Amino acid sequence: MAGSQIEDVFADVIERARVLDPANARRWFDHLCILQLNNGRLQIGCPDEAKLRFLRDKCQSGFNLAAQQVTGHLVVVEFSIEASQRRQARPQTGRADLKLHPDYTFENFVVGPSNRLAHASCIAISQSPGDTYNPLFIYGNSGLGKTHLLHAVCYELKDRDGDTTIQFLSCEEFVNRFIRAIEEGNLAGFQGQFRSVDAIVIDDIQFLSEREQSQEEFFHTFNALYNNGKQIILSCDRSPAEISSLEERLISRFSWGLVTRIDPPSYETRIAIVQKKAHLRGLEISDEIAEYIARKLQTNIRELEGALTSVYAVMNTTGEPVTLELAKKALAGQIGPEIKSISITEIIEAVTGHFDVRLADLQSKRRSQSITLPRQICMYLARSLTRHSLEEIGGHLGGRDHTTVMHACNKISEVGRRDTEMHALLTELTRQITQVGRVGG
């Protein structure tokens, strides 16, 4: 194949991957490049470790299928970091082990009155770790951006100095690694890993509650780092004093530096976040729709993201442009004082009810059309209305593998676009399921 032809194929693969999996489509896919296409392998280059991890974790099966559909051959996609892109990008040293999410940067964080102080302290720390606010303790309810900010600080610390060593992990992981170190009789190794870094960033520190031995260990880690002027950043779902069964000496240490709270975002901030999130996915929505979503969803930003995903799911089913009417339809039933996430079980109940089949049939090996169709519709709805992976969805439906699920989603989505009856059925099932979600919540 000539070079320009390969480029065309590659552009089609990217486009197809976006359609197949809109929730994980990102604008920066435009900057991916093709490294090689031969022997059934399509090698794709990306600029940095965070994007590489995202592609491998979230996008592998979508890209494989896209490549297979576009080329008509059994092609397997491989992602890697492309050396020339790396030079233009930010420095990379040692970021690989940090497991940073490519979306969670300062650039993608919307600042408003509810999070201004937390954001400003994170910026200050990333410019001058160890001597501005130490420790920094950020707290607030779930879904308000704490984890996002912690990732952003890690990015910036690494940018500023690629040799900076950071331990960034959830408190649960800290506890688990501590327990494992004890079991393996390697406490010294554990302590060496944590007490020698330039910064320690621990998410959801409330997990220390009632874990006395871990508290003891963390106390010594804290002291060792603090005394050496190393940066400590902690996030929590409540203030230090509200963590139950936490030793007094830790409570007081958590308050030595800056304790800052994140509140639920204002209406204006929510609009800006909706628009930012849509933009990240390479999708534009009108101000009217952003305002509608922001007005309806008030407490948790994760709900905003779920709302956007629903809007796009319905948009993909119907193939219509996103109008306010369509957004309202997509969000009907999902919006309420308490938004309950939709489970695969609810989807299966609605579908088996409609087709009058049993779950056991869907999970069986039977391949007659009367069973295959409802099974595929379940897969499609689970894909568009929940955040379960293809593997998980396949697991619920008799242990099907991810390519089977991807094929089903793709097929139903295409039939839904062509066939008005199918379209009506999918819309109706979606309405039923999302309303069940609300009533049950």
CB of 104 to ligand ADP, least distance (A): 6
* 271 or 429: CB nearest ligand ADP: 271
* 307 or 371: CB nearest ligand ADP: 307
**Region of 15-23, 28-36, 64-72, 106-114 interacting with ligand ADP (CB under 6 A):** 106-114
In the range 384-403, which residues lie near ligand ADP by CB under 6 A? Answer: none
Q: Which of 14, 197, 236, 273 binds ligand ADP (CB under 6 A)?
A: 273
* 86 or 261: CB nearest Mg ion: 261
Residue type, 253: R
Alpha carbon distance 57, 55 (integer Å): 6
- SS3 assignment, position 328: helix
Alpha carbon distance 137, 362 (integer Å): 49
Site string for ligand ADP, 124-153 (x = CB under 6 A): ------------------xxxxxxx-----
In the range 287-326, which residues lie near ligand ADP by CB under 6 A? Answer: 301-302, 305
Alpha carbon distance 140, 171 (integer Å): 16
Residue type, 376: Q
Binding site residues, Mg ion, CB under 5 A: 146-147
- SS3 assignment, position 350: helix
**Region of 50-58, 108-116, 247-255, 432-440 interacting with ligand ADP (CB under 6 A):** 108-116
> Taking CB under 6 A as the rule, does residue 252 contact ligand ADP?
no
8 Å CB contact between 292 and 299: no
**Region of 10-18, 49-57, 100-108, 361-369 interacting with ligand ADP (CB under 6 A):** 100-108
Angle in degrees, CA 17, 22, 24, rounded to 5? 85
**8-state DSSP, 263:** P
Alpha carbon of residue 435 to chain centroid: 25
* 242 or 414: CB nearest Mg ion: 242
**8-state DSSP, 341:** P
* 10 or 168: CB nearest ligand ADP: 168
- Helix (H), strand (E) at residue 175: helix 171-183
> Taking CB under 6 A as the rule, does residue 281 contact ligand ADP?
no
Considering CB under 6 A, how many residues would be counted as binding ligand ADP? 18
CB of 262 to ligand ADP, least distance (A): 7
Going by C-alpha positions, the residue among 427, 219, 194 that lies closest to residue 313 is: 427
CB of 203 to Mg ion, least distance (A): 6
* 110 or 181: CB nearest ligand ADP: 110
* 16 or 151: CB nearest ligand ADP: 151
* 113 or 192: CB nearest ligand ADP: 113
Length of the chain: 441
Alpha carbon of residue 327 to chain centroid: 22
CB of 237 to ligand ADP, least distance (A): 8
Instruction: Classify the C-alpha dihedral 129-133-135-137 as positive or negative.
Output: negative
* 147 or 209: CB nearest Mg ion: 147
- From the list Mg ion, ligand ADP, none, pick the one residue 109 interacts with, judged by a Cβ distance below 5 to 8 Å according to partner type: ligand ADP
- From the list ligand ADP, Mg ion, none, pick the one residue 261 interacts with, judged by a Cβ distance below 5 to 8 Å according to partner type: none
- Structural tokens at position 353: 């009810």
Site string for ligand ADP, 12-51 (x = CB under 6 A): ----------------------------------------
* 24 or 85: CB nearest ligand ADP: 24
**Region of 47-55, 107-115, 122-130, 209-217 interacting with ligand ADP (CB under 6 A):** 107-115
Alpha carbon distance 435, 252 (integer Å): 46
Name every residue whose Cβ is closer than 8 Å to that of residue 311 and which is 6 or more positions away in sequence: 285, 289, 293, 322, 326, 327, 330, 331
Residue 7 CB: number of other CB atoms within 10 A?
A: 13
Alpha carbon distance 139, 119 (integer Å): 12
Residue 264 CB: number of other CB atoms within 10 A?
A: 16
Going by C-alpha positions, the residue among 326, 335, 281 that lies closest to residue 304 is: 335
Alpha carbon distance 382, 380 (integer Å): 5
CB of 158 to Mg ion, least distance (A): 20
Q: Which of 29, 63, 109, 207 binds ligand ADP (CB under 6 A)?
A: 109
Residues forming contacts to ligand ADP in the complex (CB under 6 A) are 103-104, 108-110, 115, 142-148, 273, 276, 301-302, 305
